Amino acid sequence: MVAKARRKIEKKGLCSRIRLIEGDAVSLPFADGSFDVAAIAFGIRNIPDRIEALREMTRVVAAGGQVMVLEMVLPRHRLFRRIYHFYLSKILPRLAQAFTGNPGAYL
């Protein structure tokens, strides 16, 4: 994923403006209050110690900043679960195809 991001950055000529840094979610390599926003999308589920990861995100965000988490979970209610499955099987692949050319890109 990082290699793909690096290729996109190079292709768009943004190497002088964007620096990719890999790190551990529970031990971020940044000083306290370094950012206005810390965000994670569809990744918190992959972190074994989610609470510590959220603490780290909070630590690196400046006072008044925001920590944002975007995640999808299986709904408990049967009706919402059906809507969820319909979205994942019918809508999301079409969106993925339209945006990436790969219907399985977001699954």
78-107 pLDDT tens trace: 999 999 999 999 999 999 899 989 888 877
Q: Quick check: 1 pLDDT over 90?
A: no
The answer to whether the CB of 40 falls within 8 A of the CB of 57 is yes
State the pLDDT at residue 11: 96
**Per-residue pLDDT tens for 22-50?**
999 999 999 999 999 999 998 999 999 99
The angle subtended at Cα 35 by Cα 52 and Cα 3, nearest 5°, is 80
Count of CB atoms situated within 10 Å of the CB of 42: 11
How far is residue 46's CA from residue 62's CA, in Å, rounded to a whole number? 25
Token look-up 């370094």 returns 34
For residue 63, what pLDDT is reported?
98
